[in-house]
Homo-oligomer: A and B are copies of this chain.
């Protein structure tokens, strides 16, 4: 296992110590496992909390800050955060206007966020929840009833965060989060597996000349294992899968070409070139492109493509100022 770590049990706490040291704009409690905006709670502002297993960085801790999340609660690697942890994050960001939980659709996450929401409501904090389930690859999977939540989580957190920053009420922030999720789809491809530090073994095996289409962000099985293909064909297979589920023609799109953690940026740009050409050939317009590793799977090699059919209002909210460790513009 070639990893830049100290001990498998210390991975998440050590990384949180690094996040804290590098970003004074965050209040990080490595032992409680929460990452909070230093200026939270903000009176009258809806608080946004997300979280899930670690190993997907910069998601979610790297998206805490002005115009995006108010707090993140990272679990152990590929393991749901516990209800107490989610409750601590919720309490820390409650400014009296309620808190939105943004939850990726994995059974453990959904259950633990639900339990935390009930505990928060016992403390008179109003909580709304939005479940992200953008991955078209499979209907149910190893950790999921229904579709998995993956790359579109970036879109939901950015756009809902912008609306909350403007002072919108909880119902409106929850509604825009759901709208973004409904208008978004993703599809991922793995060129290699990854290894959870505590397990010490790869999450799955791939032959030298094999790739997995429709991979999940924890190495869950995808749709099919095929022979290695050129980047253009990998991108075509991904966008065809998305387009079959939600037609892209005529769309004004936000497109993320997302490196999975072990794929270098030069290859992500090759994939974006292919995506841009395919979309143009199929009558869609990319109005907001994003290329980079935003929702990763440890050191997995591969790429995920996520798209959102924008509206003028969603574009406006995407463009609104944001200032977080991993996403920053316009302020």
**Residues of A that sit less than 8 Å from B by CB:** 2-7, 11-12, 14-19, 21-23, 54-55, 57-58, 62, 77, 191-192, 208, 211, 228, 230-232, 234, 257, 261-274, 276-277, 286, 289-291, 293, 296, 298-299, 301-303, 328-329
A231, B4: Cβ atoms under 8 Å?
yes
For A231, the chain B residues whose CB sits under 8 A away are: 4-6, 14
Given contacts A262-B299, A289-B22, A4 and B271 within 8 Å (CB-CB): yes
Could you say which residues of chain B place their CB within 8 Å of the CB of A329? 328
> Once bound together, how far apart are the Cα atoms of A55 and B265, in whole Å?
9
Q: Which of B211, B230, B261 contacts A6 (CB 8 A)?
A: B230
Q: How many copies of this chain are found per oligomer?
A: 2
A154→B243 CA distance, assembly (Å): 40
Q: Assuming the A-B contacts A18-B272, A301-B299, are A266 and B11 also in contact, with contact meaning beta carbons closer than 8 angstroms in the complex?
A: yes
Residues A57 and B269 in contact, CB atoms below 8 Å apart: yes
Knowing A264-B57, A265-B62, say if A15 contacts B273 (CB, 8 Å): yes
- Among B2, B11, B264, B277, which residue has its beta carbon within 8 angstroms of that of A296? B264
Establish whether residues B5 and A55, one from each chain, have CB atoms under 8 Å apart when the complex forms: no
Chain B hits for A11, CB < 8 A: 266, 270
CB closest residue in chain B, given A323: B329
Contacts A/B (CB < 8 Å), 8 sampled: A4-B267, A15-B267, A15-B270, A15-B273, A18-B268, A18-B270, A18-B274, A18-B291
In the complex, the answer to whether A2 meets B192 with C-beta atoms within 8 Å is: yes
Asked whether, in the complex, the Cβ of B4 is within 8 Å of the Cβ of A263, the reply is yes
List residues of chain B with CB within 8 A of the CB of A257.
Answer: 18
| Closest B residue to A19 using CB positions | B269
Known interface pairs A3-B191, A4-B231, A191-B3; A266-B21 also in contact (CB < 8 Å): no
Cα A3 to Cα B270 with chains together (Å)? 11
Whether A191 lies near B264 (C-beta < 8 A) is: no
> In the complex, are the beta carbons of A5 and B230 less than 8 A apart?
yes
Alpha-carbon separation in the docked complex, A296 to B290 (Å): 19
Which of B17, B263, B293 sits near A273, CB closer than 8 Å?
B17
- Bound together, the chains give a CA A299 to CA B270 distance in angstroms of 14
Q: Once the chains are docked, how many angstroms separate the CA of A301 from the CA of B231? A: 22
